[in-house]
Amino acid sequence: MPALNYHHLRHFWTIAREGGLTRAAEALHIAQSALSTQLRALEAELGQPLFERRGKRMELTEAGRIAFDHAETIFRTGGELLDTLRGQRPEQRRPLRIGAVATLSRNFQLELLRPLAARSDVELILRSGTLRELLVQLDGLSLDAVLSNTPVAHDAASDRVVALLAEQKVSLVGRPGYGRLRFPDDLRTTPVLLPGRESSIRQGFDLLMDQAGIRPILAAEVDDMAMLRLLAREGNGVTLVPPIVVQDELRQGVLEERAEVEALREGFYAITQRRRFPNPLLAELLARPAVSAG
């Protein structure tokens, strides 16, 4: 049975880490032409192209990303072998790369990812950003999935797949002692703190206000859900959020639900890509029951 050429694999690994043939050849102290020849030999051995050229850049293909992850593990094992012989016993961990939009509830993310985060054989790599930024990373194969509270429109030319993970009710919450709020009438006089205008629940809320003929008193609008949660505890008005966002504050009595906005629901989505070599950890994550709507 043919054995993998680890010499070629290390050179491929260096190309990927250095970002191109020129810098890798300098790091390895070999000719660029020789390095290119060894890369082609490895690709022939694996039966898959590992890089594709985009202008002057070399970017990993899907097979290249898989090979790179395995190479990272293989060459990290050399250092772990030394650690083991010195009395330490490190564990190999499989990476799962998740991007989450800034407007997504941290509590929702924690409940979803907690089972994998607790495993010693899993390395969770979490990135935050705008949906546009994260989708670029997903398309570039540097993320396995993007978590979002905004679905992506279907595009026949795209390999993206959108799965609904959960739906949460949406409420107006505020500091205790003010009693129930009559929705929507009391919003004529009660300041309201809202998510940013790109939020799906903000768009639905604005539509409800237009239909009711009410121009709400806007205390602030905040794109970052963690900051929205902090500000909700400070003012005398109300904040539009799914209760899961402020579940600790509700449990502790720092905030109370003043009114449920029954016409609104917030969806939580996982955006992935159809791949020939999907990350098996991603399948485990998406196979879990949806997070409770509370």
Q: What CATH number is attached to the domain comprising 218? A: 3.40.190.290
Range of the domain at 57: 6-85
The per-residue DSSP string of 7-59 comes to HHHHHHHHHHHHTSHHHHHHHHTS-HHHHHHHHHHHHHHHTS--EEEETTEEE
Q: Would the pLDDT of 154 be above 70?
A: no
Give dist(CA 50, CA 205) in Å, integer.
Answer: 47
- Span 37-42, mean pLDDT? 92
pLDDT of residue 105: 82
Give dist(CA 8, CA 14) in Å, integer.
Answer: 10
Looking at residue 177, the DSSP 8-state letter turns out to be T
Nearest to 260 by CA among 178, 168, 177, 195: 168
pTM of the complete model beyond 0.95: no
User: Do residues 77 and 103 share a domain?
Assistant: no
User: Do residues 188 and 115 share a domain?
Assistant: no
User: Do residues 171 and 263 share a domain?
Assistant: yes
Q: What CATH number is attached to the domain comprising 112? A: 3.40.190.10
User: Do residues 98 and 64 share a domain?
Assistant: no
User: Do residues 250 and 176 share a domain?
Assistant: yes
User: Do residues 261 and 147 share a domain?
Assistant: no
pLDDT of residue 57: 79
User: Do residues 263 and 173 share a domain?
Assistant: yes
Name the domain count of the chain: 3
Q: Is residue 104 part of a domain?
A: yes
Q: Would the pLDDT of 90 be above 60?
A: no
Q: Is residue 175 part of a domain?
A: yes
User: Do residues 48 and 182 share a domain?
Assistant: no
User: Do residues 127 and 192 share a domain?
Assistant: no
Give dist(CA 205, CA 244) in Å, integer.
Answer: 18
CB 190 within 8 A of CB 162: no
Q: Is residue 151 part of a domain?
A: yes
User: Do residues 177 and 248 share a domain?
Assistant: yes
Q: Convert the pLDDT of each residue in 198-229 to its tens digit.
A: 788 999 999 999 999 999 999 999 888 888 88
Q: Is residue 71 part of a domain?
A: yes
> Helix, strand, or coil here: 76?
helix
Looking at residue 150, the DSSP 8-state letter turns out to be S
Q: Convert the pLDDT of each residue in 229-267 to its tens digit.
A: 888 888 789 999 999 889 889 999 999 999 999 999 988
Q: Which residues pair with 54 in a beta bridge?
A: 57
Mean pLDDT lowest among 78-92, 216-230, 277-291: 78-92
Q: Would the pLDDT of 292 be above 60?
A: no
Which DSSP helix (H) or strand (E) runs through 261?
A: strand 256-273
Position 270, amino acid: A
Q: Is residue 293 part of a domain?
A: no
User: Do residues 41 and 158 share a domain?
Assistant: no
Q: Is residue 292 part of a domain?
A: no
- Span 107-118, mean pLDDT? 87
- Span 267-292, mean pLDDT? 79
pLDDT of residue 272: 92
> Helix, strand, or coil here: 87?
coil
